[in-house]
Structure 1
């Protein structure tokens, strides 16, 4: 009986060894797009591509042409000005007084004048500068495949 048990343990050990060797994770093949991108021998351009003047003009035209009829009417042309005027005309009387026109600037001055002296110091004046807008991503590139530490 002891010899039979020893044989069974030996066979179980062999099956366990083979099973653990087969269960090691294998690295899947790289996607076609990543292979194509890494295999390209084309050098990168020396300058950053930029939009052409025609593209900028077309975008500007499209912003004004609200009804997309390839023409800008007088109303479409003045719409942005009307919206700006409406934001400033706080009392909605159709007239823009000096206080309404300068309200935003007055509020900005008051907020910057930290010591409430009525005069902006250099430091206080520097706080009135426009904050730059964060840059928008121009393109979305595919994520790089994670590098396997076993390949090093």
Structure 2
């Protein structure tokens, strides 16, 4: 019963608010005084007047054009296989510990194996929750939104 009464009171308040909202008139803006005329800045007649041109606008590059320009090392408008593979060769060479030109699973997983070994403090061969928590990456530092 109370739900019925509360619902009818809410509907009555909502409808009366809508009627008042739609029948109200906005206040007329007050008449404003005309703006005060300001004197032009004084320019000495002795100074020569030069014709200044606007600086040329830089053409905005799309994201893909910027990515292409980073990969095109010699700026010839083409990306060769050598240009594309060179950054990857350096990363591959860091992983290829024995320098044979092939990655074994152990070489590929060396960082993970080292991380596991350093986290396993009691050398049990498994990680406790506390040991596993020590392997979490550090939180990412967010840049300040404003420089105030």
Q: Greater helix percent: which structure? A: 1
- Taking structure 2 as the reference length, what is the TM-score of the superposition? 0.48
- Taking structure 1 as the reference length, what is the TM-score of the superposition? 0.47
